[in-house]
Each structure stands twice: as structure tokens, then as C-alpha cells.
Amino acid sequence: MTDDARADAELLSAGARGDDLAFAVLVRRYIRPATLLASQLLGNRDAAEDIVQDAFIVVHKQARKFDAARPFAPWCFAIVRRLAANRRSRDARRSRLLRLWGRVGVAEPVSAHDETMLIAGLDATLARRAMELLSPMQRACFELVALKDLSIAEVADMHGISESTVRQHVFRARSALRDALAGTRKEKP
């Protein structure tokens, strides 16, 4: 077990015993990647922050059940993924019911991908279309590694996949984007 993993387990254990400062350190360590993951899964930053808050509540409640021999990050991110999936299902069900009842549907949330489309020198519409051509996992890995500056290991933990799989998704996304955007760069004045 790495020092960081051991430190995570120790912080979680201390938090379970009532050490709020130790738990706060753990939250600060994982809040950014957890929020980025939830934002990707939900497409809405506000909803992502709610999910992450709920996830850390679950982490705190379940801290005594955590197996300290296993790494913390995949466990935490799995909770985020599960809560986000539940939220998507609930929102889809609510939207479907509103349509059936003849009411105006809930406004579509602004896509998290719109934030990433302003790649220097590219038309945002063309960049958005190019990103939409990527598979969901390629887009997610590319955004987190290339645009949000997370490490390959962090992204692997977030999505519950191997580091080599993350590298493969990022490589394929870069290749596909390069091909799709060839010749579309704006000349800088």
C-alpha cells in the first residue's frame, strides 16, 4: 500500500473516531476530482456539488466499514458514480413524467462540455461537434487529463479503470480531435 493510500485510510479512520480535522483533510484531497467526475456524469456543476456533498456524507457514515487494506480513492469515486447514476435516473423519470402530464419540461442543464469547448484558436461550435464525436469515455478521460490537468492515475481511480485504459482513451481522443479539427484553426490577429 502506498503512503498516500495508507494516509487516506488513516485519515478516514480518524474521521470515523470523531476527528473532524482529519476528515476535512481527506475531503480537501478528493473534493476537486470528485466534483469533476460528478460534473462529467451529470453535465451540471451545481448538481455535481450536491452529489459530492452527499458522497462525503456516505463516506463519513460508512467509514467504519471501509477495508483499510484497499485504496480509498476507487471506493470514494464509486460512491460518487452511484449517486450520480441515481440522480440521472431520478431526473430522467421526473422529466418523463412532466412531459406525460403536459407540463413544460425542466430546462436542460448547461453541458459541462460547453466549459471545455473554448480551446484556444478554435471555433467553439466546431470544437463542440468534434468532442461530441468521441465516445463518452474518450471524452471524459480527455477532458480530465488534457483540460482539467488531472493525472492518469487520478482519472483511472475516478472511473474505475486501469491507467493504460485511460492513456488509450486520451490518445484516441487526441487523434480523433486532431483529425476532426484539421484546418479549422482560426488565425490569431
Kindly write down the DSSP assignment for every residue of 27-83, as one continuous string.
HHHHHHHHHHHHHHHHS-HHHHHHHHHHHHHHHHHHGGG--TTS-HHHHHHHHHHHH
pLDDT over 90 (residue 48) = yes
The predicted model scores a pTM of 0.67
pLDDT over 50 (residue 67) = yes
pLDDT reported for residue 124: 66
pLDDT over 60 (residue 24) = yes
Q: Which residue has the higher pLDDT, 110 or 39?
A: 39
C-alpha cell at 116: 471545455
pLDDT over 90 (residue 36) = yes
Give the integer Cα–Cα distance in Å for 82 and 141: 18
Domains of the chain, earliest start first:
3-100 (1.10.1740.10), 112-181 (1.10.10.10)
Average pLDDT of the segment spanning 155-163: 90
